[in-house]
Amino acid sequence: MRQLQLPAFQFTEEQMAFRQEVRAYLEQEKLDGAFETHSDSWLSGYSAEFSQKLGKKGWVGITFPKEYGGQARSSIDRYIITEELLAIGAPVASHWFADRQSGPLILKFGTEQQKEFFIPKIVRGECFFSIGLSEPNSGSDLASLKTTATKVDGGWVVNGMKTWTSGAHHSHYMITLCRTAPQDVNNRHGGMSQLIIDLKSEGVTVRPIQFLTGEHHFNEVFLESVFVPDDRLIGQEGNGWAQGLTELSFERSGPERILSTFPLLNEAMKLLKVKGDQRGLIDVAKLVSRMWSLRNMSMGIAAMLEEGKDVNLAAALVKDLGNSFEQSVAEVIRLLLPTMPSKQEADHYSRLLAESILHGPGFTLRGGTTEILRGIVAKGVVSA
Ligand SMILES: Cc1cc2nc3c(=O)[nH]c(=O)nc-3n(C[C@H](O)[C@H](O)[C@H](O)COP(=O)(O)OP(=O)(O)OC[C@H]3O[C@@H](n4cnc5c(N)ncnc54)[C@H](O)[C@@H]3O)c2cc1C
């Protein structure tokens, strides 16, 4: 059996100072009324204005090359920003996918023209992306997807449907995995390509799917004879599957797979301290120690990504463990501080509790289900 070795990671003094700078800025923004703290804000807290503010600070696409407006800073600096944004529950959903995966994907596989067109806008917090993978009958088994792109003069005509598409009602573009050649039984993962679809194009209809809380954050996206010009194909035709896999490493290993319910944990800690509830604080301390070990693992992966290493297996493991941690935060805390959870309630704690409970079921579905992640881990260990 192979052992998973994640490098231990220690922040430098400079990095610690950067964290303090980010934290102080966010606390001041919150005090000034720019946002309220929410659980799971990376997927459902939309504020184009706030994304632009972060863009002005240089904190969107911070790792992107300077020639496209980025700062070429390390993925550890990006890790610090994302952790602080998640911890304070800031509204970052608008730019999250562009910063985390669409930008890096374009930088890795895109043409020079695509880089020059998209990356500076992403960095300014003005260009938002959605991920168009899932379809009504293709989720875990994504290779069975039915959306087609047919070659025509000057581009492609896309027909099909995507579902559960987070943020498609706010985003400008959707990176869409579609079939550009018929499925080959001997190569299930071939014949797929990634197209950047402008969500304002003729033939695109975005319909809301209501969340358990009544919020609108994901959608059905219907694509009816949508024309996509040739220059919106990313990378190589037919290589969409392999390209998409590189995105998954960015998607699965970040602190958002651990910290979606951190605002609730933080609020509960404050309330238990005020009550002087020592027993309750011990239970919270157990959660914090779990969080700390997951964080060390996730930072180890960030360090591996910095070195260009393959983190597919490690990211699947951290996502699985992180998601069950995020869910258990709400389970433990609602017993320690019982109340009627309600999104409508003015009481901050009751609102955070409602968000954490009602968003919880999605944690173990989005970005790969528990069963799929465990399959990756099991196969990785056995085949080593
Ligand atoms: C909050 C949220 C946001 C999302 N945002 C997006 C988005 O922006 N873009 C996007 O493309 N998608 C998005 N999704 C969709 C998500 O990626 C899919 O829900 C997920 O991949 C699972 O697919 P499915 O829903 O079709 O379930 P299925 O694949 O049908 O799975 C149903 C159940 O069967 C199990 N199962 C399936 N195959 C196997 C197997 N081989 N072995 C064992 N068990 C198996 C699964 O684990 C699951 O429990 C989002 C989902 C959620 C909940």
pLDDT of residue 383: 43
Q: Give the pLDDT score at 382.
A: 47
In percent, the amount of the chain with pLDDT more than 70 equals 98
Whether the per-residue pLDDT at 53 is higher than 60: the answer is yes
CA–CA distance from 376 to each of 1, 318, 339, 373, 382 (Å)?
A: 15, 12, 39, 5, 10
Q: Ligand 1 test: best mutation among 96, 219, 223, 369, most atoms within 8 Å of CB?
A: 369
Q: Which residues pair with 150 in a beta bridge?
A: 157
Q: Which residues contact 379 (CB under 8 A, 6 or more apart)?
A: none
Confidence of residue 381 (pLDDT cuts 50, 70, 90): low
Would you give the distance in Å from CA 234 to the centre of its chain? 20
* Nearest atom in ligand 1 to 361's CA: 53
Whether 116 lines ligand 1, by a CB cut-off of 6 Å, is no
Is 41:91 a contact under the CB 8 Å cutoff?
yes
**Residue listed under structure tokens 């005020």:** 274
Please identify, by atom number, the ligand 1 atom nearest to the C-alpha of residue 130.
Answer: 8
Distance 140 CA to ligand 1 centre (A): 5
- The verdict on the CB of residue 140 being under 6 Å from ligand 1 is yes
CB 371 near ligand 1, within 6 Å: yes
**Ligand 1 site-directed mutation target among 134, 194, 364, most atoms within 8 Å of CB:** 134
Q: Whose CA is nearest to atom 23 of ligand 1?
A: 139
Q: Choose among 94, 114, 1, 8: nearest CA to 43.
A: 94
Q: What is the pLDDT of residues 101-152, one digit of tens each?
A: 999 999 999 999 999 999 999 999 999 999 999 999 999 999 999 999 999 9
Distance CA 326, CA 138 (A): 26
Nearest atom (ligand 1) to Cα of 140 = 29
List, in order of start, the domains of the chain with CATH numbers: 13-127 (1.10.540.10), 131-239 (2.40.110.10), 254-383 (1.20.140.10)
Instruction: Identify whether the C-beta of residue 226 lies closer than 8 Å to the C-beta of residue 155.
Output: no
Q: Which of 217, 218, 225 is nearest to 197 (CA)?
A: 225
Strands in the chain per DSSP E: 129-132, 148-152, 155-163, 173-179, 192-198, 204-210, 216-229, 233-234
